[in-house]
Structure 1
Amino acid sequence: MKKIKVAAAISLIAVSLIVWRISRPVEIIAVHDGDTLLVKNFPLFKYQQISWWENNKKNIYEKYKIPSLYNDGSYMVFILNYGEGYRVDRNTDQDSNLLCFEDMKVAANCIEKDPLFMVHRASASRVYYH
């Protein structure tokens, strides 16, 4: 009986953590290069990611002017995990796992390459989610 109670408690804690993780709001930390959003708490599942984009794209455009359209009406938006934040790229190797933003004039202008989602509209036609 005691094993069942312990197993039930562990299951309840696990379910609570999953619900908490899924229900946290997405936080946009920064915007770079006119097409890149750094975020925390991005949804785990693709249908949730698409839904988040569709529900927030108007506000994102109004606040950050993203997406910016190319001449043919297409655009791309990259959403990356903010992770542990900005850091200095001490690696001179081109194969670094850091993505650095030239629009930041500080040494700590790089984040870990951790792409979460990409939205691509091809010349005012269909929108693709990757």
Structure 2
Amino acid sequence: MVRKNKKAIYIITLLGFLLLCLFFLLRPVSIAAVYTNDNFSDVLVTNFPLTDKGKINWWLENKGKLSKNYGIPNPSLDSGRFSITFWDFGDGYKKKEKYDRICFPEMKTDVNCIEKDAVLIVSNNRAGSVFFTVDNGRYMVKGNGDIVKTKGW
């Protein structure tokens, strides 16, 4: 009898853990704010994918929506270059207090900074090649649409 109870508790605990993992993995990405300065954009996000592949796939699936709703990317008129940094908005806005926070002076409050925790950078070069900078390296979209890791990372 005791053995059956231990087995049941183990199974329930395992199922609870799996459900918790699914909850964290399937939460939708939320965009808290978008700030643009010329061809540079900062996007504050929560629930961003954890893996490099997940982050890149999220961009590929949502780039049209970002363009339509927020006007990004916003390429430079002279060079055509752009850079979008996605920042983890985790704990929300904070006071400057620490030197290593990024602040948004557009917000007319002293609580207008976030921790510098970039989760994805999407950029391009003069030739129009698109690059993804993530935790584990830098990737480039080839002409045929394949995404390859670049050397030197």
TM-score scaled to structure 2, two decimals? Answer: 0.76
Question: How many percent of aligned residue pairs carry the same amino acid?
Answer: 32
What is the alpha-carbon distance in structure 1 between the residues aligned to residue 108 and residue 84 of structure 2?
23
Segment drifting more, 51-60 vs 97-106: 97-106
Paired residue secondary structure (2:21): helix
Are residues 1:59 and 2:60 paired?
no
Are residues 1:97 and 2:100 paired?
yes
**Which one has more relative contact order, counting CA pairs under 8 Å at least 6 apart?**
1
Structure 2 segments unaligned to the other structure (5+ residues): 134-153
Over the aligned positions, Cα root-mean-square deviation in angstroms equals 1.4
| 2:82 paired residue number | 75
Q: CA deviation at 1:4?
A: 2.5
TM-score scaled to structure 1, two decimals? Answer: 0.88
Paired residue secondary structure (1:33): strand
Structure 1 segments unaligned to the other structure (5+ residues): none
Count of equivalent residues: 126
What is the alpha-carbon distance in structure 2 between the residues aligned to residue 117 and residue 82 of structure 1?
13
Structure 2 letter corresponding to 1:46? D
What is the alpha-carbon distance in structure 2 between the residues aligned to residue 100 and residue 8 of structure 1?
47
1:72–1:124 CA contact under 8 A, matched in 2: no
Q: CA deviation at 1:124?
A: 4.2
Match of 2:43 among 37, 42, 49: 37
Q: Which has the higher strand share?
A: 2
Bigger Rg over Cα: 2
What is the alpha-carbon distance in structure 1 between the residues aligned to residue 7 and residue 115 of structure 2?
42
What is the alpha-carbon distance in structure 2 between the residues aligned to residue 46 and residue 7 of structure 1?
33
What is the alpha-carbon distance in structure 2 between the residues aligned to residue 110 and residue 85 of structure 1?
8
Structure 2 letter corresponding to 1:84? D
